[in-house]
Amino acid sequence: MMPYFDKSTGERTAATILEVNNVEVIMHRTPEANGYFACQVGYGSKHLSKVSRQMLGHFSSKVVNPKEYVAEFRVENEKGLLSPGTLLKPSFFKEGQYVDIRSVSKGKGFTGVMKRYGFKGLRASHGTSIMHRHGGSYGQNQDPGRVLPGRKMPGHMGNDNVTIQNVKILKVDDENSVIWVRGSVAGSKNTFVKIQDAIKKT
C-alpha cells in the first residue's frame, strides 16, 4: 500500500496498486454449450515449457499466447460478452467506480484461539500453569456430554477466498498498466485478484 493524494481536495488516502498485465479475453461460455454466459479471461504470459499439454492445446485452439492465470467472469446476457482477443486495459474501469475485489488471503497456518479469534486467554500468573493461551472450557458436564458444533477452537487460519465489496477506484493508469484502489486488498504481494463491478453499489 501507499498514499494517494486527491488533486482537487488534497485528501490523503491509503491505496493499493493493482497491475493489469496483458489481460486478454480468451473465449465465451454460452447457455447452449455451458448453461450460462461468461467470459474467460487470461492474465500475463507463461513460458511454453511451464504450460501443460492440456492448457497448451486450449490456448492454441483459441489462438492466444499461454497465460499465467485464467479466470471466468459471469455476465447477465449476450450483450455483456466481449470479443475473444480483446485486450482489457485499466481504462476498462472508470475513476470513482465501485468494484468488488476477490483474492486469497495470507495463510497463517495452524493457530491458537488467541490469534484466530482474539480470545483473551487465561491469567498470566497466580497459579495458571501451561494454560495461559488456552481457550477455557470446551463444554458442560455429563449433559450434553459432548462439545457442541461451532465451538471456536485452534485450527487453520487464512488462505481463504475473500471478497472485499464496494472498493472505490481512485485512479486508472493505462501508461503504467495499473489501477489504484482505496484501502487494502486481501493477500500478499503478487497475489492474483479478480475485479468486477460492485453488486451492492454503483
Q: What is the pLDDT of residues 44-54, one digit of tens each?
A: 999 999 999 99
Closest CA to 76 of 35, 32, 36: 36
The string of pLDDT tens digits covering residues 166-188 is 999 999 999 999 999 999 999 99
Do 25 and 81 fall within a single domain? yes
Predicted confidence at residue 25, as pLDDT, reads 94
Residue 41 pLDDT more than 90?
yes
Predicted confidence at residue 201, as pLDDT, reads 83
What is the SS3 assignment for 122?
coil
Do 72 and 123 fall within a single domain? no
Print the domain residue range for 120: 111-150
Contact 75, 36 (CB under 8 A): no
Determine phi and psi for 114, rounding to 5 degrees: -70, -40
| pTM for this entry | 0.84
- Which CATH number goes with the domain that contains 66? 3.30.160.810
Do 27 and 66 fall within a single domain? yes
| 8 assigned to some structural domain | no
| 135 assigned to some structural domain | yes
Predicted confidence at residue 1, as pLDDT, reads 86
- Provide the 10 A C-beta neighbour count for residue 77: 8
Predicted confidence at residue 113, as pLDDT, reads 96
| 66 assigned to some structural domain | yes
Return d(Cα 121, Cα 152) in angstroms, integer.
13
Residue 157 pLDDT more than 90?
yes
- Provide the 10 A C-beta neighbour count for residue 173: 14
Residue 164 pLDDT more than 90?
yes
| 79 assigned to some structural domain | yes
| Residue 168: Cβ-neighbour burial (10 angstroms; 0-12, 13-18, 19+) | middle
| 167 assigned to some structural domain | no
The stretch 154-169 carries a mean pLDDT of: 96
The string of pLDDT tens digits covering residues 65-106 is 999 999 999 999 998 899 998 999 999 999 999 999 999 999
| 119 assigned to some structural domain | yes
Q: Calculate what percentage of the chain has a pLDDT beyond 90.
A: 83
- Which stretch of DSSP H or E encloses residue 55? helix 53-61
Q: Domains in the chain: how many in total?
A: 2
| Residue at a domain's end among 88, 103, 137 | 88
Predicted confidence at residue 125, as pLDDT, reads 86
Q: What band does 8 get if pLDDT is binned at 50, 70 and 90?
A: confident
Do 25 and 84 fall within a single domain? yes
Residue 195 pLDDT more than 90?
yes
